[in-house]
Structure formats: C-alpha cells, structure tokens
Structure 1
C-alpha cells in the first residue's frame, strides 16, 4: 500500500527533527544525550502553538494501519486549521516516526518525536508498542492518544493522567465477538491468540462472555507471534474438534488461517472468526492468493470504522489513494479532543489541557465538529464532543465507556463486507 504525500512530508520533518536532536545530544554534557530532547520538549510547553507528533506503523506487520491513521490525523489538522486553528494559531506540520512492530524502534521513534518538542503524540497503533513507549511519553508530561490500542491493560495503567484512547477496550469488543459466534449457532469454541496484552486481553474477554452465555470454550491458547511454525497451534485446534475457531492475531494470523485451511478447518467446515487485528481488505488474498473465496464466510469484529458516511467521504476526498479505513475515525477523534481540551484550558501546555480531555467528551452541550465545539467553548459552554467514531463519553480512565463494534465478513470473492454494528457498554 502506497503512502501519501502527507506521510512522506511528515517523515521528512521527522528526519530533520532527528538530526537536530542528535546535534543537541552532542552538547548534553553528562546527561547521556537525552537532556537536549527533554529541554526542547519543556521549552515547547505553553508556547501558544499546539504541536502534534505521531508514532505509527509505516513498516512491519501493521503497516496497513499506518496510512488510515496518518491521513486521519492530517485530515483532522486541516479541518482544525480551516476553522482558525487552536488558540487562534494553526497547528504546524505533524512530526512522525515509525513504530515498525519493534519495541526498540518504537522507543527510538518516541525519543525523536519528543525531541521535536511536541505537546501530544498520536499512537502507537499496537498495544504492545504503546506499552513500550507510554512511560517515556507520559513521563515527559506529553499527552498520548491512541486510536487503536484495545488491550484492557491501559484502563488501570499509571500514566499520570496523560494517556488516552478513543479505541474501546477489548472488554467491550469481547462480548460482541462472543455474541457473533453464538448467534451463528456455535457452542464449542477454540480460541487462539498472540501472547501479548492485546491477544490475552481480548481472548479473556471473549472467553468469559462465551462461558457466561453457556458455550464451551474447548481451547484457550496463546502462541508466540514471532514463531515460524504454527503447526502445533493447528494441531491443538484440531484435537478439540470445535465447531468454531476465533483467531486473535495480527499478520501472523494469516499463517494460522492457511494452516487451518490445509487441515480442513476452513469456514466451509466450521465457524472461523477474527478480530480487529485481522480486519484487512487484503486478508483473503493473503491467506489464499489463488482462491480468495476460500475465506468466504469468515467473520470478525472490530471497532467500527465506516459508519459515518460524511467522515468517510471527506477523508477519501482528502486522501484519494486511501484504501483502508480501519481506526481512521478513532484517530481523527484523538486529534479533536486534544485540540478542544487545549481550547478549554486556553493553553497548549499538556499539564494544563490533559485534565480537560475527559470533560470535553461528556456531560455538556453536544457538538460534532471542532468548529462547532470551539464556538460553544468561546461562548462559555461546557461541551460534549460526539466523535465520528461515535459518542465517546470517556470514563475517568480516559477511554470510551461505550463503543460501536463492527461485525465484518468475507464474501464469495474474498471481499471484506460489513454485516452490521453492535453497541457495547461497560457494565457498572
């Protein structure tokens, strides 16, 4: 998938920032080379200009999620600037770097973006990559917002009040995945998930909901996502003789699905399900290049991405080459709630605006765009921003208390289709 001009521009800005940070590090004395970045970041706080950076996948197993998230970020910035900017000043070009599905790269990227003096960072996309950099970002008292972190781990994470996410916790997605499986008449389910916070969190939430509904979970197994041999996983699935299998993974999930097809465990024989990590317009052709239709009937769930037609139309006009839309609405909302919080706080300093982020998403006068909400704030009103990904209504942990979860499937030609959406709310 080809990246847009905006992404290439952001990458160029990021490289420039890296060079500047490296030069500053040479003059850092006994601070180990990190003092320059910290001084730049501190200097930017409260300078009257809200500045964004990102750490998102440009390469690696989630590279297909990079373009929709980066373009959604740039689209939000363009709309905000068209509405007069934040604190009456335009948001500058976004500084961005690659998370690359590697903790070491993500950490280095976070250092580089922080070194550019940003006030807020969008990302990372993968929960594991955010866990690798969250302490670095929030410890610098810079706001972090992810549109695609779904691991339950973040709900109670000690982030000092600087981490937020517009993607719902898998505590909300799990019940919808379970209901989808049970709704298809399946009752003996095998669950396999990558051995990380995302995989374990969604597997546990799905398992609980399945069992609460009376289904049998015949297998709940995690696997090493870096493995080169998934035959043992396929054998364990086969040994349980399930009538449904849910694969909770990323790119490596294509190999598991290939192995299932070879073992006669495809969707023509049993129920086959995925989640947001496998929701990919190209999945069927990646699994079975010569016959994508072999994945026909596979279903899955993901935070809703295509419900808002006005947003989708506007984004596709802004980025005509964009093919994938997953998590674009959630990233768009990340940018808007940060910008609105800065307006509410009358400051671009994260120490001032981060405490306002939860409040701009609930318990006020409803508004659906930055321009509309900004005017209400100027009029002295409390606002309730309803995002393009749905009503956010953040809980105190800085995440949605409810969510729209999409149910998707692959048709006879292996094309991705949306079956519908379901609402899911946190239980008190």
Structure 2
C-alpha cells in the first residue's frame, strides 16, 4: 500500500492520500485548501479540513481523477487575510493547484478570490463564507465565474432568526457580532428582519477577534436593558464574550449563530447556561445521499458529523473532483465550465462515497450525464455561484449535547423571506 505524506503549513499537518490502483499512482493532481486551523476558528477548522480530506480519500479509492492520484494540500490561514492570500499563492503558483477549497471566514475568502483565484483562473469553492458581497461581486462580473459556495448567503439566516425571536416573544434584542464581513452582514440582515416583524434591536456591537476579554463590548451591549442576545461569533471568542455576558447578569435568552454549533463552545461556556439558547445552522435534506456521508463520517471518525461546515466542505471537494473528472484535466477554466454540468440536469444520480464516485467515473467515460446529490442533498448553483438550502435550529440539552429542535425547509425559508419583503 502506497501512501503520500504531506506537510502543509507551518503547523506541519500530516495528511495521507489513500491507496490507489497502479494506474493512478503514476501522476498526482493537487487540490488546495485554505482553512483556519489555528486561532479562534481552531475548534471547527480542523474538522472542516477532515471533511475535505474524506472526499479526496474516497475519490482516490474510486480510482482518482482522470487516472491520477489527488493530493489534498491543506494550508492554515490562521484567521488572517494576509496569511490566507500567501497560502493560496503558494498553492496556485508553486503547487499548481487548479482548485482552492475555502476559506471559512468571508474576510479571508474575499482577498484570496480577488488576488489569487480570479487572476490565476483557478476555481474557488467555499464551504463556509456566507457574506452577500460575493454575490454582488459575481453580479458585477468580478469573479469571472470561478467562484462557487456550497452554503446559502447570510440573509436567509437573519430572516429565520428574526422569526424565531418573534415566536419566542423577545421584544428587545442586543446583537454582539464578530467584526468581519460575515458578522457585519448577518447582524445587518437580522436587524432589518427583526424590526420588520415588530421587534427592537437595542444595540449592535462589533468585537475584534482573539482578545483576552470582551467586557467593554458586553457592557455596551447591555445598555438599554435588552431581554435577549443574538451572538454572532466563532467558538473561542464567542465563549469568552458569552461567559462575561452571563457573569454581568445578562439574559440567558440567547440566539446563536451557525459558527457556534460546536461541542467546544458548549463546554467552554457551560451547558447549564445554554438550556434556553437556540442557534441556527445549515441543514441537509433527508435522503440517501446525506445518509451516505453521515455513515462514512461516523465510520471514519467515530462520531456523528455535528458541526458547521462538515457537509458543505465535503460537497465543495466532491463537486470540484467530479467537475475535474468530467473536464478530463486539472484546468481551472475547464473545471469551472463543468461544475453545473455535474450538479444539474437529468443525469444519473451520484451519491457520496467510493461506490458513487466510481459509478460517476464510469458514466463520464461512457459519455453519459450525471447529477451529484451530496452530503447536503441536491445542489444547484445559480449564475452567481450561490446555492439555496434548508436550515436546522439547534439547542443544548441538559446533558450538554447538541440537539436539533426544529428544521426549516427551503419552502418555509422562502415564505419567510417573501413575508419580510412585502
């Protein structure tokens, strides 16, 4: 059994490529990924990287891409735009990767897209960047069609959370948000929607990442006697801010963003303080494609795939690999031009996993169409590279475990947005 050991980034992360038939061992195709593995995103970044690795491993098990082994090269952006751009440049200019998966934070993803991916004619697919600025950039022709993401934009999240706040009877909500494209846009979307349904946002307070304390921000947010808090944060900083909010007597009527759906966050804050909290995350439609990923993840890692970005990262990698297989070569423009061909239409349905990818390769070789249904369910990219999707509402049980308390399908989300837009 032949395996390739890669050291990616300063932290020296070892990644292993799966064994392949001899024909696939004679060449390698790099697929780059830029994610936040250290810093405030460390609690979720590594697992998201594992999801991308799983897709690559399974594709290699099915025979690789165009007869070549796929080499997954993961680089740490450390939550810094400058570090992220440097990592992406290395992937494109030195490693010759035709695809970049990432980043997580919109503020890191955007400069990679505009400084590296678009000029280099490299496809970039993000699992986790939801800021609406990407849609506007694509609308203005600034992405060249090389941009895609496998999760919806921020606006639907804001609308859904506003409806939940109204249903729970909250009247005056304080918002604390990470000072990034993601945090600013989600806070703005929530505020507009909550005010439209009759609520009041008492304050909107930004915070900068990786600070030892957020007492000043918490004190500012508590002015005006809010009856609840919407916290838009990443796990490490979010836990620090919320502990201080609670210690200062802040309400435990809590709404939490998708990026806080992590066991590490719950443990750091204390489950006893989160029993009234409800958060949002991207959901998956129920069906065999989702089950295939969930079972594969559990078999590989020994736990259910609970956490932000896992399903969407797997699909980002799978879409890139299938499009590359159909293109027949590791060329960014050719991959771009085949992404919609393998996700829409009346082709034979392909599910996640080695068997599904092997079937896809055989059909593509025979000149037959395929349609990938992934870890998130059916995928359809619009002209700007965006997708729509359902959401789940999560909570924390008395035992400290993350639970799903409700689901919003695409129709329910669309109806809520239509009501806001009246």
Q: Same fold (TM over 0.5)?
A: yes
Partner of 2:132: 152
Contact 1:56 1:123 in 2 (8 A): yes
Partner of 1:395: 382
Note the 1:341-380 alignment, pairs <5 A.
341-365=323-347, 367-369=349-351, 370-380=357-367
Distance (whole Å) between structure 1 residues aligned to residue 285 and residue 398 of structure 2: 21
Q: Does 1:80 align with 2:65?
A: no
Contact 1:199 1:248 in 2 (8 A): yes
Partner of 1:162: 146
- Distance change (3 Å), C-alpha of 1:343 and 1:310: closer
SS of 1:354's equivalent in the other structure is helix
Distance (whole Å) between structure 1 residues aligned to residue 242 and residue 181 of structure 2: 21
Match of 2:245 among 233, 239, 260: 260
Distance (whole Å) between structure 1 residues aligned to residue 257 and residue 348 of structure 2: 31
TM-score, scaled relative to structure 2: 0.82
| Gaps in structure 2 of 5+ consecutive residues | 13-25, 352-356
Q: CA RMSD in A?
A: 2.8
- Distance change (3 Å), C-alpha of 1:375 and 1:178: farther
- Which portions of structure 1, spanning 4 or more consecutive aligned residues, are displaced by more than 6 angstroms? none
Note the 1:307-346 alignment, pairs <5 A.
308-320=290-302, 325-346=307-328
Q: Note the C-alpha offset of 1:321.
A: 7.6
Distance (whole Å) between structure 1 residues aligned to residue 89 and residue 283 of structure 2: 31
Cα-to-partner distance string for 1:372-415 (whole Å, 9 max, x where unaligned): 44444445444432221122211111121x21212111122332
Partner of 2:70: 92
TM-score, scaled relative to structure 1: 0.81
Contact 1:72 1:331 in 2 (8 A): yes
Q: Does 1:298 align with 2:277?
A: yes
SS of 1:61's equivalent in the other structure is helix
Q: Does 1:71 align with 2:88?
A: no
Contact 1:53 1:120 in 2 (8 A): yes
Partner of 1:247: 231
Partner of 1:198: 182
Match of 1:217 among 186, 191, 201: 201
Q: Note the C-alpha offset of 1:299.
A: 1.2
Partner of 1:25: none
Q: Note the C-alpha offset of 1:355.
A: 2.0
Q: Note the C-alpha offset of 1:421.
A: 2.3
Q: Note the C-alpha offset of 1:76.
A: 0.9
Distance (whole Å) between structure 1 residues aligned to residue 393 and residue 305 of structure 2: 19
Cα-to-partner distance string for 1:295-340 (whole Å, 9 max, x where unaligned): 2221111112796343122122223489864311111111121122
| Gaps in structure 1 of 5+ consecutive residues | 1-5, 18-46
Partner of 1:142: 122
Q: Which moved more, 1:279-288 or 1:365-374?
A: 365-374
Cα-to-partner distance string for 1:80-131 (whole Å, 9 max, x where unaligned): 22323222x1333212211111223222222222211111111112211112
Cα-to-partner distance string for 1:17-74 (whole Å, 9 max, x where unaligned): 9xxxxxxxxxxxxxxxxxxxxxxxxxxxxx9864311111221111122232222112
- Distance change (3 Å), C-alpha of 1:50 and 1:172: farther
Contact 1:305 1:327 in 2 (8 A): no
Distance (whole Å) between structure 1 residues aligned to residue 165 and residue 194 of structure 2: 8
Partner of 1:132: 111
Distance (whole Å) between structure 1 residues aligned to residue 131 and residue 301 of structure 2: 29
SS of 1:396's equivalent in the other structure is coil
SS of 2:69's equivalent in the other structure is coil
